[in-house]
Structure 1
Amino acid sequence: MLKIRNLEAGYGKLRVLKRISLHVNPGEIVTLIGANGAGKTTLLYTITGLVRATAGDIILQGREITRERPEKIVAMGCSLVPEGRQVFVTMTVRENLVLGAYVQHKKGNREFMAQLEEVYELFPVLRERRDQLAGTLSGGEQQMLAMGRALMAQPALIMLDEPSTGLAPLIVKNIFAIITKLRAAGNTVLLIEQNAKAALKIADRGYVLETGKIILEGPAEALLANRDVQRAYLGRDLARP
């Protein structure tokens, strides 16, 4: 689904990503964990074309997207749920979702209402709140709206940037349950998450990013059991009894 080879990117003279290579297979949840400033969000922005790669290749479903425009990348099947939700607060829930289908509408796709119904089935609260302004929703409801809006573009790959940020534990549990439902429905997910334990519990595979470099990769279960990962990201000091 997604293949990244020797990717480099940054801001001006600041090099953030340093020869990143990773892949995401169809139907997988792959998580990328790392500390603040490791380059996780920059990686997602580079995949979506919001940050320009200075070297390397990004291949989506066999097609080169490294230097494509963001709107073209969305049309090619890649949607991003940004950190902090970033919903349009003065628009209704339904209007936010309709806006997410812009690319499909532009391509003449007549399945808009069916896709909207699928989103409502996945997030029943959005149906209940469809005429409510997005800015009046709770944090968890806004996160569901951001995810639903991304799904309206009918992406082959959906990328989520820190979906648990600022949410209560019960809401986080619900959000992660929905992410597993996305996989069960045939979606492919690239998940960026600081809650490493929760992310690795639902992921198939994972990568650990540190100062712009991939330092570990493997099956999620293996990373959960890794002593260095436990010490650095799961809050466990295994040197103590």
Structure 2
Amino acid sequence: MLRIKNLEAGYGKLRVLKRISLHVNPGEIVTLIGANGAGKTTLLSTITGLVRATAGEIVLKGQNIETLKAEKIVFRGCSLVPEGRQVFATMSVRENLVLGSYVQHRQGKEQLREGIEYIYDLFPVLRERKAQLAGTLSGGEQQMLAMGRALMAKPALIMLDEPSTGLAPLVVKNIFRIIERLREEGNTVLLIEQNAKAALKVADRGYVLETGKIILEGQADELLANRDVQRAYLGRDVKEN
């Protein structure tokens, strides 16, 4: 689904990503964990064309996309749920979802209706709030709306940037349950998370990013059991397990 080889990117003279190589297979949840400033968001921004790669290649569904503009990458089947939600605050829940479906507009009103119904089934609270302004939703509801908006494009690959940030534990648990459901329904997910324990529990595989470099990769359960990962990212409660 996604293959990245020797990718480099940054901002001006600042080199953030340093020869990143990773892959995501169809139907997988792959997580990328790392501390603040490791380059996780820059990686997603580079995949989606918001930051231009300076070297390396990004292949999505067998086609190179590293030189494409962001809107073309969305049309190729890659959607991003950005950090901080970034919903359209002065628009209703339903209007936000409709905007997310612009890639699918040419398929007609029936497909749009079916898409919205799918999101309402995935996130029932959004049906209840469909006429409410997005800016008045709770943080958890905004995260659900941001995910729903991205899914309206029916992406082959959905990328989530820190979906648990600022949310209560029960809401986080529900968000990760939805991420698992996406995989069960055949979706492919690249998950960026600081909550490494939660991310590795739902992921198939993972990568550890440190100062712009991949320093470790493996099956999710292997990374959960890795002592270095435990000390750096999982906390003392896991260390003794």
* TM superposition score category, shorter chain reference: over 0.9
- Tell me, what secondary structure is at the counterpart of 1:35? coil
Q: Is 1:204 equivalent to 2:218 in the alignment?
A: no
Assess if the C-alpha contact under 8 Å between 2:208 and 2:217 holds in 1.
Answer: yes
Shift of 1:238: 8.8
Q: Distance in 2 between matches of 1:121 and 1:142?
A: 16
Q: Distance in 2 between matches of 1:179 and 1:41?
A: 19
Q: Distance in 1 between matches of 2:118 and 2:224?
A: 33
Which stretches of structure 1, 4 residues or longer, exceed 2 Å deviation after superposition?
236-241
Structure 2 residue aligned with 1:127: 127
Q: Is 1:85 equivalent to 2:80 in the alignment?
A: no
Taking only aligned residues, the RMSD between alpha carbons, in angstroms, comes to: 1.4
Q: Deviations over 1:90-144 (max 9, x none)?
A: 0000000000001221xx1221111111111101111110000001100000000
Structure 2 residue aligned with 1:63: 63
Assess if the C-alpha contact under 8 Å between 1:87 and 1:142 holds in 2.
Answer: yes
Q: Which amino acid aligns with 2:107?
A: N
Structure 1 residues 30, 238: CA separation in 2 closer, same or farther (over 3 Å shift)?
closer
Q: Is 1:54 equivalent to 2:81 in the alignment?
A: no
Shift of 1:236: 2.5
Assess if the C-alpha contact under 8 Å between 1:231 and 1:237 holds in 2.
Answer: no
Structure 2 residue aligned with 1:170: 170
Q: Is 1:226 equivalent to 2:221 in the alignment?
A: no
- Tell me, what secondary structure is at the counterpart of 1:190? strand
Q: Identity of paired residues, percent?
A: 80
Structure 1 residues 225, 98: CA separation in 2 closer, same or farther (over 3 Å shift)?
same
- Tell me, what secondary structure is at the counterpart of 1:74? helix
Structure 2 residue aligned with 1:139: 139
Structure 2's unaligned 5+ residue stretches are none
Structure 2 residue aligned with 1:109: 107
Q: Distance in 2 between matches of 1:115 and 1:72?
A: 21
Shift of 1:235: 1.4
Q: Which amino acid aligns with 1:231?
A: R
Q: Distance in 1 between matches of 2:175 and 2:237?
A: 28
Shift of 1:84: 0.4
Q: Distance in 1 between matches of 2:233 and 2:9?
A: 25
Q: Distance in 1 between matches of 2:67 and 2:133?
A: 36
TM-score, normalised via structure 1 length: 0.97
Structure 1 residues 203, 238: CA separation in 2 closer, same or farther (over 3 Å shift)?
closer
Shift of 1:42: 0.1
TM-score, normalised via structure 2 length: 0.97
Q: Distance in 2 between matches of 1:187 and 1:18?
A: 28
Structure 1's unaligned 5+ residue stretches are none
Assess if the C-alpha contact under 8 Å between 1:75 and 1:104 holds in 2.
Answer: no
Alignment of 1:153-192 (within 5 A): 153-192=153-192
Q: Deviations over 1:169-204 (max 9, x none)?
A: 010000000000010111000000000000000000
Q: Deviations over 1:27-57 (max 9, x none)?
A: 0000000000000000000000000000000
Structure 1 residue aligned with 2:27: 27
- Tell me, what secondary structure is at the counterpart of 1:58? strand
- Tell me, what secondary structure is at the counterpart of 1:209? strand
Assess if the C-alpha contact under 8 Å between 1:227 and 1:238 holds in 2.
Answer: no
| Higher alpha-carbon deviation: 184-193 or 231-240 | 231-240
- Tell me, what secondary structure is at the counterpart of 1:88? coil
